[in-house]
Structure 1
Amino acid sequence: MRACGPSLIKYVLFAFNVLFALSGLGILVAGAIVLADVNEFNHFVEGRVLAPPIVLIVTGLVIFLIASLGCFGAIKESPTLLLTYAVLLAIIFIVELAVGIAASVFKKDLEGMLKNSLQESIKRSNSEDSIAWDNVQRKLMCCGVDTPADWRALSLNKTLPASCCQPQFIDAAVGHCTESPALGKDKYFQEGCVGKLKERIDKNAVILIGVGIGIAFIQILGIVLACYLASAIRYARQAN
């Protein structure tokens, strides 16, 4: 590759960094989509659940800026800029690895955390909790923590909210299920919300992990390529 000279090499790195910049924008968009989805239920989730997509958004922006530096370093044929670019990529890679490890550890406690948060919310049953519960139960088609019976056991008024009703059975005049037992399986959602929330978060986690792994491989390639090209440029200059 050295025989080709730095003029060809810089175009190789420039093209690589254009693709890398686009991948940075891609990871930013993926993080934003996941954050928007999880944020719908932020009343019940801890900040640790929101942290990975936020880190992904910041990482995507940083990758875009670093890729711009790589393009500039390739055009200028500057070994110093190329090595700086490689070091910054390595730092971002380490940060992503640390976030991934932290997310894996947190995932083990996710269901317990969600269950505790949902139970405490039912016990409080204030207006903010009621709004949050109506949102999650209607969108995820679930009722209670594990079963609808949680509302009878834990809530202050011992009754199921209207959001537990399946839409087709809601009487528009009263805004609730009618002619049904309190825990009637015919008209109320029977699945608990803790499982549905965990499933939603796990699905988003798969997206983040997939995008993260893809970007990590690109970063490793970028680090190797930048170091090699910096060495090739120095070698070519010394030969001249």
Structure 2
Amino acid sequence: MQSCELSVIKYILFTFNLVFAISGIGLIVAGALVLSDVGEFDHFMEGRILAPPVVLIVAGCIVFLVASLGCYGAIRESYYMLMAFALCLLIILIIELAVGIAAAVYKNDFQMTMKDLMKSSMQRFENSKGDRTAWNNIQTKLKCCGVEGPTDWPENTRPVTCCHATREGSPPPEAHHCRSAAPQDGILYMDGCFYQLQEKAESASKILIGVGIGIAFVEVIGIILACWLASAIKNKGD
């Protein structure tokens, strides 16, 4: 009976680890997609704002390797490898929880940091090619203007990318018209880029949270199965 129980647990854990390895690949893909989506505007973000998707990619790689260890430990019926596997899962789970808590606690700080970076970049617009390129890129792609709105731009420095065509198919206004345009003229993007970027970052964070919760649930099951099998192997040896 004990031998039958051992075999059942072993193959359940082996199957679980195959699924777990696939979930590790899923983590890598999810992190990469979020990073490519938000990272396009990394000029306005500190490294710590982009850290969660990077951590997710690293965690995915580690999960894949740990799952391989779990598969090998289950087939070999190695008590120590299974306990090492459970410990690795526990460490990964703690790291994921710590990153999630830190992201939630410092969310407002991240947002204020991003806003300050955008404002300082705006002041360098005229003298820095990198800042000009970054602002033209974000205003064109997110259809926005300024940090919180078009009035953020100092007089005569508002870029033409703040303006859109008044009729579908017609070209945007020339640079001097865009610089002198008032909000009521109807040719300015009225949404601030900070809010557009914030919305994009929050959308990405929801994906990360959803994937993280799913993987955390799988990890808890993995820890229980590994400890169960390790205990059965130890009892068999006794």
- State the match for 2:137 in structure 1: 135
Matches of residues 49-68 of structure 1 in structure 2 within 5 Å? Answer: 49-68=49-68
What residue in structure 2 maps to residue 144 of structure 1?
146
- 1:162 maps to 2:160: yes
Deviation at 1:92, TM superposition (A): 0.8
Structure 1: give runs of 5+ residues left out of the alignment: none
8 Å contact 1:177–1:187 — kept in the other structure? Answer: no
Deviates more, 1:6-15 or 1:222-231: 6-15
Q: Deviation of residue 183 (structure 1)?
A: 2.4
1:162 deviation in Å? 1.2
* C-alpha distance after superposition, 1:8-55 (max 9, x if no partner): 221111000000000010011000111111110110000011111111
Distance in 2 between the 1:233 and 1:176 partners? Answer: 75
SS at match of 1:142: coil
Q: Which is further off, 93-102 or 17-26?
A: 93-102
Per-residue Cα deviation, 1:159-190 (whole angstroms, up to 9, x for no partner): 32111112566965976585995124411100
Identity %: 49
Amino acid across the alignment from 2:142: L
* Paired AA for residue 130 in structure 1: R
Structure 2 residue aligned with 1:123 = 123
Q: Distance in 1 between matches of 2:143 and 2:208?
A: 25
Aligned to 1:28: 28
1:137-159 alpha-carbon deviations (Å, 9 max, x no partner): 11111001111011135xxxx33
**In the aligned structure 2, how far is the partner of 1:2 from the partner of 1:176?**
80
Q: TM-score scaled by structure 2?
A: 0.91
Q: Separation in 2 of the partners of 1:73 and 1:103?
A: 34
5+ long unaligned stretches in structure 2: none
Cross-structure match for 2:84: 84
The verdict on how the C-alpha distance between 1:4 and 1:191 changes in structure 2, with shifts beyond 3 A counting, is same
Q: Corresponding residue for 2:225?
A: 225
Distance 1:179 1:68 in 2: 58
Aligned length, in residue pairs: 234
Change (3 A) 1:173 1:80: closer
User: How many Å apart are 1:124 and its aligned residue?
Assistant: 1.0
Q: TM-score, normalised by structure 1?
A: 0.90
| CA RMSD between the two structures | 2.2
Contact 2:139 2:193 in 1 (8 A): yes
Question: In the alignment, what sits opposite 1:207?
Answer: 207
